[in-house]
Amino acid sequence: MNNSHLKTSIKRIGYALSLMSIGYLLGISGSLLPQTSHAQPADTVDDKNEVKIELKLSNEAIKGIQSAHESLTQAMETLKLEGLYTPATEGVNSYLVLTGGGNAIEDLKQGTGVDPVTFAALYAGMATEEISDDLSKDESGRLMYKNKLIRIYSVEELKSRQRTLENLLARKVGE
């Protein structure tokens, strides 16, 4: 083996050892590990043994949420008066309000899907008295209405409602 091959081999071994050392050090330091993500804040239990979720929100964010809720509630009441809003769950259904209303009870009866907020609220146990007796779960724990599986709207319906929302937001309305 000549001298230039020996030098080249030593350099390659040196580079390989350097890369392995760097990789080892980065590995034990954990600096390249993916960071964990928490989809939900940690639960805490208060004095009454009730679960309390801690959210770190600014006062400005809280005021904005409260203002949005108040506006949604007013819009919901208007849609109800106009016969355009029939919920299947308690509380304000922001999805139905923002997309111009809907009849969640009729959606359940038809079995073709419900809006995402109704779907989540039903699983959270917030069904209205009108439909609660007709809810059950199958052997897999999926929610059923009159023995039909409850599903979310089709992708086409979700896209259609999104377009409705965009059109409503773009519409100029006199004050």
Question: Does residue 40 fall inside a structural domain?
Answer: no
Top-confidence residue, 174 or 23 = 174
Residue 79: phi, psi to the nearest 5?
-60, -40
Question: Does residue 125 fall inside a structural domain?
Answer: yes
Question: Does residue 139 fall inside a structural domain?
Answer: yes
Question: Does residue 65 fall inside a structural domain?
Answer: no
Indicate if the pLDDT at residue 32 is higher than 70: no
| C-alpha to C-alpha distance for 144 and 141, rounded to whole angstroms | 9
Indicate if the pLDDT at residue 21 is higher than 90: no
| Cα angle 120, 135, 123; round to 5 | 20
* pTM (whole model) above 0.85: no
Structural domain span for residue 88:
73-170
Question: Does residue 47 fall inside a structural domain?
Answer: no
Cβ neighbourhood burial of 87 (10 Å; 0-12, 13-18, 19+): buried
Q: Given this model, what pLDDT does residue 24 score? A: 66
User: In this structure, are residues 72 and 92 in contact, taking their beta carbons and an 8 Å threshold?
Assistant: yes
Question: Does residue 8 fall inside a structural domain?
Answer: no
Number of domains in the chain: 1
Question: Does residue 126 fall inside a structural domain?
Answer: yes
| C-alpha to C-alpha distance for 76 and 82, rounded to whole angstroms | 10
pLDDT digits (tens, 9 = 90+) for 57-110: 899 999 999 999 999 999 999 999 999 999 999 999 999 999 999 999 999 999
Question: Does residue 18 fall inside a structural domain?
Answer: no
